Amino acid sequence: MYCHPVLMLISAKGRYALRCMLDISLNGSEDNVKLKDIAERQEISIKYLEQIMSALNKAGFVRSERGPSGGYRLSRPPEEYTVGMIIKLVEGDTSPVSCLADDGCKRSDTCISMILWKKLDDAVNSVLDGTTLADMMDWSSKGRIIEIGLPDY
């Protein structure tokens, strides 16, 4: 098997799962958060949202309650959820190349490119695993989007 670059794009499902978890974090401190309210705020169809919430519920990330005061709430505090946990739950592996994601590559011992792919994978995972829902809630409470200082090309 040869190492094939994979353009790592986080799918709509991954982005929506993160938005849902963040919405519940921001709006569910006292009451359950209703699915229709998440759908309206996040502009996600209820049908698609049901699939995402089912995966989050099965993984134990959220708890659901039925009835008039039913809805969703986080199973644990926002500090205990990393963005990486959420993205990897719905996306699977986030490796930038298949040789890192699979059982390896027959050239991995001699492939100089492997160093680059591993560094890229480490950098992405550092950001995903080093950012919690609580961090994102803090960004939201400050009413701003953090500028990350992209380099000029």
| CB-facing half-sphere around the CA of 66: CA atoms within 13 A | 0
Can you say whether the dihedral through the CA atoms of 8, 138, 30, 61 is positive or negative?
positive
**How confident is the model at residue 150, as a pLDDT?**
45
Angle between helices 83-91 and 46-58 (to 10 degrees): 110
Read off the pTM.
0.83
Residue 37 — φ and ψ, nearest 5°? -70, -40
- Determine the Cα–Cα distance for residues 96 and 8; give it in Å rounded to an integer: 5
Query: How far apart, in whole angstroms, are the C-alpha atoms of residue 128 and residue 122?
Result: 10
The torsion defined by the Cα of 106, 109, 113 and 119, in degrees rounded to 10, comes to 110
Looking at per-residue pLDDT, the higher value among 151 and 30 belongs to 30
Is residue 153's pLDDT more than 50?
A: no
Q: What is the pLDDT of residues 5-21, one digit of tens each?
A: 555 678 899 999 999 99
Sorted by where each starts, the structural domains of the chain and their CATH numbers stand as 12-140 (1.10.10.10)
- pLDDT tens across 111-140, in order? 888 888 889 999 999 999 999 999 999 887
Residues 32-55: pLDDT tens digits? 999 999 999 999 999 999 999 999
Tokens for 47? 């049908």
- Per residue in 76-113, pLDDT (tens digit) is 999 999 999 999 999 988 888 777 766 667 777 788 88
Instruction: DSSP for 67-82, please give it.
Output: STT-EEEESS-GGG-B
